[in-house]
Amino acid sequence: MPNAFDFELTALDGRPLPLATFDGKVLLVVNTASKCGFTPQYEGLEQLWQELGPQGLVVLGCPCDQFGHQEPGDAADIQDFCSINYGVSFPLSAKLKVNGADADPLWQWLQRQKRGALGIAAIKWNFSKFLIGRNGQVLARYAPTARPETLEADIRAALG
């Protein structure tokens, strides 16, 4: 049975980002966008990364432009925006798709593992979140409206 650590993304800087690098850690995978009403969640994601990263949490942002053209920039624009406005230091992937035939394989797999509200697999909007346990299996899926700080108890439980 595949797990999250079997996948590879491309990092925002263009280098390979094999998720096997994070094997044994807890992942919070989020599709992000710079011009969304939920963009301020970057602040809470960075706080989780800073506070719980030393205990084994990896926050992984995956910029996506599929919802309202809210991530229009290139990699440099995304990096600058995240660093300057939110001090983001957690890993970011290259811009990718989360829905449709061209969706990144990781995101296709995530949707098969945990469906969203009303049993719908498709990602509905920016800042959808998946919590992945140390064994690489999806523990939970959260709606875009779920603020990062509300996930802390579940993350701490996953960290053990």
Domain boundaries, given as residue ranges, for the chain? 4-159
Exactly one of 36, 62, 64, 82 is catalytic; name it. 36
What would the pLDDT profile of 35-80 be if each residue is shown by its tens digit?
A: 999 999 999 999 999 999 999 999 999 999 999 999 999 999 999 9
Report yes or no: 67 and 35 within 8 Å, Cβ to Cβ: no
* Three-class secondary structure of residue 118 per DSSP: helix
* Architecture of the structural domain at 4-159: 3-Layer(aba) Sandwich (3.40)
Q: How far apart are CA 71 and CA 23, in angstroms?
A: 29
Task: Enter the pTM of the model.
Answer: 0.96
For residue 82, indicate whether it is catalytic. Answer: no
